[in-house]
Chain A
């Protein structure tokens, strides 16, 4: 399979993630969408690393995975705190910054 197939896969996964972020009511669902978007980026990085024979992309992927894990842990803890305070994790009701 050529590079284009990987890139197409990454684009599809990114769009699915974006769709999830925009449409999910549940905050945890939004976090999952973000994970998908980040992983589509990882696919891109690895694909280009293989294609160009340069390991930098792979190293960056390892970095991204680490940061993603930290981000997921942080995001989930925020959601838990949010639930304790507001008794809800529905994104529509979290509009304290409404103008």
Chain B
């Protein structure tokens, strides 16, 4: 079919159209909600085009649609266009779907926002969706990198959407700079690879790689540099620290950018170039080990967070690392599958958390409790998402997660496999900690506070009063189901989670490897054990949460301080970058400016001295002219 690439291109350009309209037509943008309708309309069209394109490319069909962009002598240096195949169009559908749902959801979530701010929000959203689709469909590394930076920019803009908050500004800058640190490596890797192979084009490079025409010497450095880009974008240790802070942005943004799409760009890119990484098994081993380690680190951190969004953020880091581990083990298709299912249910979890935050007015888990009574629908979809993430059978996350475990084992990475199995247990534990604390258990902090208040009643009665007030606040009496514009996307995602899970149960896709038979019981068992522990601790309170924490003393304390990784970065920033800035400032102030100041001072002094030559008397000048003429005459005569 001829129009296949065109459909993917249409999906891409519809978002560009929405962005341009909103960016140029400022009066429309300032109206707020109408701007949102424009954006949503384009997103809906884009989703339709993406789905059609996906249907057209199922199987082996590949369509390329490229235009010359950077012509150079005799050959083309870079092209822009779309490369639509089974993987990229599937990813395109995910991006289009989540983008559309998030935009609809935002109508309800950002209801109280000022109209100009809402218009700005939708402008950024359109730009993001366009850039992300450009990244997904990129036929070469140049377009990939440009879109890579564009989504980073949108992430910065949307994290800092509430720019009046200092925390949001800080988080936006942190996200921008930390991902930029990885991007530098990415750019260096791309250029080195171009010098090495003579092309930026993914398809051409793939042909070279499959014919063994790429020299292996030095290739590992390049793939490692490219991997660095993915480390920054997909929040791998040690550059994972920006993602939890990115939760300062509005929750729908977190769902779209920091869970379903942008952060998965690194995983997606590694999947797209897996034939290249297959040439450098050493780098793949690094990918697998770093992935497994980050997965464990983030899962431990997620267990101690009290902010519902931060739990989900660390969970995202952990799950991205899961995908990375599968790619590192050499089975990138398993990672890609988990990317897709994770995109659906993590977006669901974030949007569900957004509904809770919208209702309670706080991110804090201790402000929630028994919300299932007031928000039964939200509780239902959130639980579906959590079950899916935990990897319970018949839901979306089950098969993809088990495949990753099988992939690491089949790749011969026993160490990462063990780590990931622990992570599977922890994942179920921290997700159901959230589910029970927020939706089912009695508010946890209020009784504890009350008890503390009683103990201190002799010391200060005023304290008791504040505690009682606090206890009332924990009931969250104003909590209510979110409006339809928020509930509908939640249900769509929840049904998709169930649907994908059931589909995979019926049509079991054959993985490229065979997993041992004991794998599935162990995976499901660890998930159920995690859920059970969370239930016993937070629902039945059979196990005291404090003593559970005490049992893991040093780890618990370390996790509370994020294992000091953020501190190390901050110290490095203060010492390194600020120190360097001070040095550069000194050089500029005293050396560069100093030379200029000396020169100008000399000029002034010379002028002061020379001015005395000007007597102001006309006859003196006549002397000068006469002597000058005389000298010229003599020179002409005798010179």
In chain B, positions 598-636 with a C-beta closer than 8 Å to chain A are: 610-619, 622-623, 626
- The distance from the CB of A30 to the nearest CB of chain B, in whole angstroms, is 7
CA distance A68 to B622 in the complex (A): 19
Q: Which of B610, B616, B622 is within 8 Å of A21, CB to CB? A: B622
CB pair A99–B613 under 8 Å, yes or no, is: yes
Chain B residue at smallest Cβ distance from A95: B616
Q: Decide: A91 near B614, CB < 8 A? Known: A18-B626, A22-B626.
A: no
- A94 contacts B by Cβ under 8 Å: yes
Residues of A within 8 A of B611 (CB): 99
Q: Is A1 an interface residue (CB 8 A)?
A: no
A98 touches B626 (CB 8 A): no
What chain B residues lie within 8 Å of A22 (beta carbons)? 619, 622-623, 626
Do A98 and B615 have beta carbons less than 8 Å apart? yes
Number of interface residues of B (CB under 8 A): 13
Do the beta carbons of A95 and B619 come within 8 Å of each other? no
A18-B626, A22-B626 are known contacts. Are A98 and B614 too (CB-CB below 8 A)? yes
Nearest CB of chain B from residue A23's CB, rounded to whole Å: 8
Bound together, the chains give a CA A95 to CA B621 distance in angstroms of 12
Contact with B along A11-35 (1 / 0, CB 8 A): 0000000100111000000100000
- Alpha-carbon separation in the docked complex, A92 to B618 (Å): 8
Do B615 and A95 touch across chains, with their CB atoms under 8 A apart? yes
Q: Are A97 and B616 in contact (CB under 8 A)?
A: yes
Instruction: Tell whether, in the assembled complex, residue B617 and residue A91 are in contact, meaning their CB atoms are under 8 Å apart.
Output: yes
Q: Give the residue name and chain of the B residue nearest to A15 (CB).
A: B626
Task: Give the number of residues in A that approach B within 8 Å (Cβ atoms).
Answer: 13
Chain B nearest Cβ from A90, distance in angstroms: 10
- Whether A99 and B612, one on each chain, are in contact in the complex, defined by CB atoms closer than 8 angstroms, is yes
A96 contacts partner chain B, Cβ-Cβ < 8 Å: yes
How far is A21 from B620 in the complex, measured between Cα atoms in Å?
10
Chain B positions within 8 Å of A97 at CB level: 614, 616
Our pick among B613, B618, B626 for the contact of A91 (Cβ within 8 Å) is B618
Complex CA distance for A97 and B614, rounded to whole angstroms: 8
Question: Which B residues are in CB contact (< 8 Å) with A94?
Answer: 616-618
Q: CA A98 – CA B623 in complex, angstroms?
A: 16
Check if B619 sits within 8 Å of A21, measured CB to CB: yes
Q: Contact check: which of A91, A96, A98, A99 meets B619 at CB < 8 Å?
A: A91
Complex Cα–Cα for A73 and B504 (A): 112
B609 to chain A, nearest CB (A): 11
Q: In the complex the two chains form, is B614's CB within 8 Å of A99's CB?
A: yes
CA distance A23 to B622 in the complex (A): 10
Task: Report chain B residues within 8 Å CB of A96.
Answer: 616
Q: Which residue in A18, A30, A99 is a CB contact (below 8 Å) of B616?
A: A99
Contacts of B613 in A (CB 8 A): 99
Residues of A within 8 A of B619 (CB): 21-23, 30, 91-92
Q: How far is the CB of B301 from chain A (nearest CB, A)?
A: 76
Closest to B617 in A: A95
Min CB gap B612→A, angstroms: 6
Q: B633 CB to closest chain A CB, in angstroms?
A: 12
A95 CA to B614 CA in the complex, in Å? 10
**In the complex, how many angstroms separate the beta carbon of B209 from the nearest chain A beta carbon?**
78
Kindly name the residue among B611, B614, B619, B623 whose own CB sees the greatest number of chain A CB atoms within 10 A.
B619
How far, in whole Å, are A21 and B619 apart by their CA atoms in the complex? 7
Min CB distance, B631 to chain A, in Å?
Answer: 15
Q: A2 vs B142: C-alpha distance in the bound complex, in angstroms?
A: 90
Residues of B within 8 A of A92 (CB): 617, 619
Return the chain A residue nearest B612 by Cβ.
Answer: A99
CB distance from A25 to the nearest CB of B (A): 9
For B608, the closest partner residue in chain A by CB is A99
Of listed A18, A30, A99, residue having the most chain B CB within 10 A: A99
Bound form: Cα–Cα A30–B617 in Å = 13
Chain A residues, CB < 8 A from B616: 94-99
Task: Give chain B residues whose Cβ lies under 8 Å from the Cβ of A95.
Answer: 615-617
A23: chain B residues within 8 A (beta carbon): 619
Min CB gap A42→B, angstroms: 19
User: CB-nearest residue of chain B relative to A27?
Assistant: B618
CA distance A97 to B613 in the complex (A): 11
Interface string of A62-86 (1 = CB under 8 A from B): 0000000000000000000000000
Instruction: List residues of B (386-431) whose CB comes within 8 Å of A's CBs.
Output: none
A21 to B617, CA, bound (A): 12
B406 CB → nearest A CB, Å: 93
Q: Which residues B252-278 have CB closer than 8 A to chain A? A: none
Residue of B whose beta carbon sits closest to that of A33: B622
What is the bound-complex CA distance between A98 and B615, given in angstroms? Answer: 5
Give the shortest distance, in Å, between A44 (CB) and chain B (any CB): 16
CB closest chain-B residue, reference A24: B619
Please, how many angstroms separate the alpha-carbon atoms of A30 and B619 in the complex?
9
- Within A28-52, which residues are at the interface with B (CB < 8 Å)? 30
> Measured between C-beta atoms, what is the minimum distance from A19 to chain B in Å?
10
Provide the bound-state CA to CA distance between A22 and B626, in Å.
Answer: 9
Point out the residues of chain B lying under 8 angstroms from A99, CB to CB. 610-616
A94-B618, A98-B616, A99-B614 known, 19 other contacts, Cβ within 8 Å: A18-B626, A21-B619, A22-B622, A22-B626, A30-B618, A30-B619, A91-B618, A91-B619, A92-B617, A94-B616, A94-B617, A95-B616, A95-B617, A97-B614, A97-B616, A98-B617, A99-B612, A99-B613, A99-B616
Show 18 residue pairs from A and B whose CB-CB distance is below 8 angstroms, ordered by the A residue. Answer: A18-B622, A18-B626, A22-B623, A30-B618, A30-B619, A91-B619, A92-B617, A92-B619, A94-B617, A94-B618, A95-B615, A95-B616, A97-B614, A98-B617, A99-B611, A99-B612, A99-B613, A99-B616
Q: 6 nearest interchain CB pairs?
A: A99-B614, A98-B616, A95-B616, A99-B611, A97-B616, A95-B617
